[in-house]
């Protein structure tokens, strides 16, 4: 079959993780996952939740890729790479196979035309690498915020790109769908990735953009407990002003996001988010000033603006910020003029 007629092939492997990124991906809509692959002409070779191959058939297919008998265009890895114990990879072996999964991943990555890390675990190690990291978990090309990981800092696929890190915990399904389309159509290049190799299509945004609590943020009308309507940054640990993602403008399942559900953003697209050094719902401060200030804002400016904003906070926001529902509705200026 000629190169032009051959469909781009995709192999999806899972390693050390919970499978949450696959669960999220199956919720993709407009288009859904299967429509995306069909429209892009992508042939799915194997996915642990979608394929019917038994272990023996799957191992034979993997060996064919390693041997160069089967071409692989896109390798997607979900979950961190397990290197333990003592760098042997023995903690994670494929069912029915004595070879460490780490070694399979490494060999297949050398054959794939493009490698994609799906989720924070595959990208940087994620939750699996937290704590003492007894499993010696790492990402494909990063270990936390430091380049390296399984494949090493210098790894480049045949297209010249590093591993594409679709970081998130879990990922938004459309981040993966968009990246698949770009890669399948040879439209992804180095300029489309940020400094942590995340696709800029979502990483050039901040979670803060489109947040429904932005009016409270502007006036520093802050929540003091999780059920409050106020801004979650000052006291409740929200990192939406620093987190690179478009969660509040590209909603999940058409209408949701962490902040819309009442939870503070924990910056799950960042390398090392899993160990912030404090409770996720706590804002660390020095001299009463939050440590995690908005991206690109000098501390002195924030202090000055916060003082002015609090002095000008409407009574409506002051009361609603500490309530679990709107108690005071916005006034109607035109109505007030008529009354006077």
**Domain presence at residue 280:** yes
Same domain, 265 and 312: yes
**Domain presence at residue 335:** no
DSSP secondary structure of 268-295 = TTSTTTT--SS-TT---EETTEESSPPT
Same domain, 188 and 237: no
For tokens 């999940």, what's the residue? 252
Please report the pLDDT score of residue 1 as a whole number: 44
Same domain, 269 and 127: no
Residue ranges of alpha helices (H) inside the chain are 20-25, 33-40, 55-67, 101-109, 120-124, 173-184, 200-203, 214-218, 299-311, 315-321, 333-339
**Domain presence at residue 4:** no
Same domain, 41 and 162: yes
**Domain presence at residue 323:** yes
Please report the pLDDT score of residue 2 as a whole number: 46
CA of residue 223 relative to chain centroid, distance: 26
Handedness of CA 41, 47, 50, 56 (dihedral sign): positive
**Domain presence at residue 170:** yes
For tokens 């879990």, what's the residue? 170
Same domain, 152 and 296: no
Asked which of 203, 225, 256 is the last residue of a domain, the reply is 203
Tokens matching residue 62 = 């993997």
Same domain, 194 and 220: no
Q: Render each residue's pLDDT in the chain as its tens digit; 340 residues.
A: 445 568 899 999 999 999 999 999 999 888 888 888 898 899 999 999 888 888 889 999 999 999 999 999 999 999 999 999 999 999 999 888 889 999 999 999 999 999 999 999 999 999 999 999 999 999 999 999 999 999 999 999 999 999 999 999 999 999 999 999 999 999 999 999 999 999 999 999 999 999 999 999 999 899 999 899 999 999 999 999 999 999 999 998 888 999 999 999 999 999 999 999 989 999 988 877 787 777 777 777 777 877 788 888 899 999 999 999 999 999 876 665 555 4
Please report the pLDDT score of residue 338 as a whole number: 52
CA of residue 18 relative to chain centroid, distance: 14
For tokens 């069909």, what's the residue? 38
Note if the bond before 170 is cis, omega within 30 degrees. Answer: yes
Please report the pLDDT score of residue 221 as a whole number: 93
Please report the pLDDT score of residue 333 as a whole number: 67
Same domain, 189 and 249: no
Same domain, 53 and 155: yes
**Domain presence at residue 334:** no
Query: Structural domain of residue 213, as residue ranges?
Result: 205-327
Domains held by the chain: number = 2
Other CB atoms within 10 Å distance of the CB of residue 61: 18
Same domain, 178 and 246: no
The three-state secondary structure class of 179 is: helix
Asked which of 178, 203, 228 is the last residue of a domain, the reply is 203
Distance CA(109)–CA(130), nearest Å, equals 25
CATH number at residue 291: 4.10.480.10
- Give the residue among 192, 217, 186 at the shortest CA–CA distance from 204: 192
Please report the pLDDT score of residue 6 as a whole number: 80
**Domain presence at residue 298:** yes
CATH number at residue 55: 3.40.50.700
Residues across the chain: 340
Same domain, 158 and 262: no
Asked which of 203, 226, 247 is the last residue of a domain, the reply is 203
Handedness of CA 104, 110, 116, 119 (dihedral sign): positive
Same domain, 161 and 265: no
Question: What are the residues whose beta carbons fall under 8 Å from the beta carbon of 158, sequence distance 6 or more?
Answer: 113, 114
**Domain presence at residue 127:** yes
Same domain, 247 and 315: yes
Distance CA(216)–CA(228), nearest Å, equals 11
């Amino acid at each position: 079959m000629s190169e032009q007629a051959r469909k781009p092939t995709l192999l999806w492997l899972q390693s050390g993780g919970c499978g949450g990124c696959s669960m999220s991906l199956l919720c993709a809509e407009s288009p859904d996952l299967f429509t995306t692959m069909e429209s892009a002409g992508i042939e799915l070779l194997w996915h642990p939740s979608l394929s019917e191959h038994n272990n023996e058939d799957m191992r034979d297919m993997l060996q064919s890729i390693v041997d160069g008998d089967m071409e692989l265009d896109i390798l997607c890895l979900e979950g961190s790479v397990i290197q333990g114990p003592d760098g042997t990879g023995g903690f994670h072996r494929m069912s029915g196979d004595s070879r460490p999964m780490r070694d399979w991943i490494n060999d297949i990555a050398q054959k794939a035309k493009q490698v994609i890390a799906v989720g924070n675990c595959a990208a940087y190690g994620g939750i699996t690498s937290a704590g003492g990291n007894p499993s010696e978990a790492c990402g494909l090309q990063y270990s936390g915020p430091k380049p390296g990981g399984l494949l090493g800092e210098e790894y480049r696929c045949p297209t010249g790109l590093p591993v594409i890190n679709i970081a998130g915990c879990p990922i938004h399904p459309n981040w993966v769908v968009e990246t698949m389309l770009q890669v399948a159509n040879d439209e992804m290049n180095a300029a489309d990735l940020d400094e942590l190799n995340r696709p800029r299509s979502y990483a050039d945004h901040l979670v803060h953009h489109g947040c429904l609590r932005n009016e409270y943020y502007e006036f520093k009308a802050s929540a003091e407990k999780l059920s409050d309507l106020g801004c979650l940054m000052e006291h409740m640990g929200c990192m939406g002003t620093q987190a690179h993602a478009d969660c509040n403008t590209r909603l999940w399942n058409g209408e949701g996001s962490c902040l819309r559900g009442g939870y503070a953003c924990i910056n799950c697209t960042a390398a090392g988010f899993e160990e912030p050094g404090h409770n996720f719902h706590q804002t660390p401060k020095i001299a009463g000033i939050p440590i995690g200030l908005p991206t690109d804002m000098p501390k002195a400016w924030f202090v000055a603006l916060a003082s002015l904003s609090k002095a000008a906070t409407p009574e409506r926001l002051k009361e609603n910020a500490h309530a679990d529902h709107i108690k005071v509705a916005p006034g109607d200026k035109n109505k007030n003029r008529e009354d006077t």
